[in-house]
Amino acid sequence: MATIQFDVIVLAQDQHLRRSIYVAGVTVLCYDHLLSLGSEVAHIWVPRARRTSAWFLLVRYVALLSNLVLAAYFLGDLSAESCKKLSSAEDYLLVIQETFVEVTLALRVCAMYGFNRRVFAALGVAAVITISLGAWAVVGPDIKVESALPGCHVPTSHTAAIHMAFAWEAQLVCDILILGLTLHRTYTYNLVVGPGSRSLLGTMVRDGAAYFAMIGLVNLANILMLYTGDIITAGSLAWFASTISVTMITRLMLNLHDAANGSNWTTPTLNLAAPEVGI
């Protein structure tokens, strides 16, 4: 095990930044829970049980419980052994949360294409690569930081940071693929029904673009931090990016439930798996 001694001032600044980023992420998550609670009750809890409802609850509440559990890791003053265990838990929860997000996005796109086999296979390959890189990213050398300051100081080595960057880059590529397939589906849809029609597909496209804009920026900042940060700050944006991803994906799911339960949507006859999609 390598041991690194940090300047106390630098370590205190890094720890403050790391904690502030965590608090920002969990604040956004909890605030969104409160804002969307009415929609959740109306579309998830009140209707009869559905698989989509169960999946929504799994995605949303695993993220909430994970954030509450990891509060002790980010904000508490724990023993070195407890810090190490919670650091490992953070890594695995990151992989789990991002798997939930990517699977949800892939299923949305597959539904838009009528579960076309080639689309399903392309997204399946991309998902397997992304998840595999995420699992690989949690493996890194064991490093210890000596400091008299309170709190967990579990560092991210340069090698581990590069591994994590590769995983987040793969996810960004996967999101770009999903966005491209969504835009292509919109184009072929508009050729049939005409632009401007109010539909579930239009809602999915609008929300998908908003998701990509928000998550693309957060993921880019996270990747840059992994390459440029020191051993304490390098991984400081990873949990924040994951929390924002979960927040956005649950919003997408609630908006889709809201659109599906509305009464003013156009429902033109259209074969979603038709050959004209070209995929």
Residue 185: per-residue pLDDT: 78
- Tell me: the pLDDT tens digits for 152-176? 767 777 777 888 888 888 888 888 8
pLDDT attached to residue 128: 83
Question: Which of the two residues, 180 and 148, has the higher pLDDT score?
Answer: 180
Q: What is the C-alpha separation between 34 and 94, in angstroms, rounded?
A: 23
The yes-or-no verdict on residue 277 having pLDDT over 70 is: no
What is the distance of C-alpha 20 from the center of its chain?
Answer: 19
Least confident of 41-45, 108-112, 162-166, 185-189: 185-189
- Least confident segment among 27-31, 85-89, 146-150, 215-219: 146-150
3-state class (DSSP) for residue 4 = strand
Q: Does the structure show a pLDDT above 50 at 209?
A: yes
The 10s digit of each residue's pLDDT in 239-259 is 999 999 999 889 888 887 776
Q: Quickly state the pLDDT bin for 190 (edges 50, 70, 90).
A: low
Task: Give the distance, in angstroms, between the CA of residue 279 and the centroid of all CA atoms in the same chain.
Answer: 27
- Residue 24 half-sphere exposure toward CB, CA atoms < 13 A: 15
Calpha distance 146→84 (Å, rounded): 14
Tell me the average pLDDT across 73-89.
83
| pLDDT for the residue 44 | 87
Q: Tokens standing for 136?
A: 């690989």
Write the pLDDT tens digit of every residue in 33-44: 999 999 899 888
**Burial of 2 per CB tally in 10 Å (0-12, 13-18, 19+):** exposed
Distance CA 67, CA 25 (A): 9
Average pLDDT, the chain: 78
> Cβ atoms within 10 A of the Cβ of 117, count?
11
Q: How confident is the model at residue 194 (pLDDT cuts 50, 70, 90)?
A: low
- Least confidently predicted of 11-15, 210-214, 235-239, 272-276: 272-276
| Residue 30 confidence (pLDDT) above 90 | yes
CA–CA–CA angle 71, 105, 112 (5° rounding): 160
Greatest mean pLDDT among 150-159, 180-189, 212-221: 212-221
Q: Does domain 8-260 have CATH number 1.20.1070.10?
A: yes
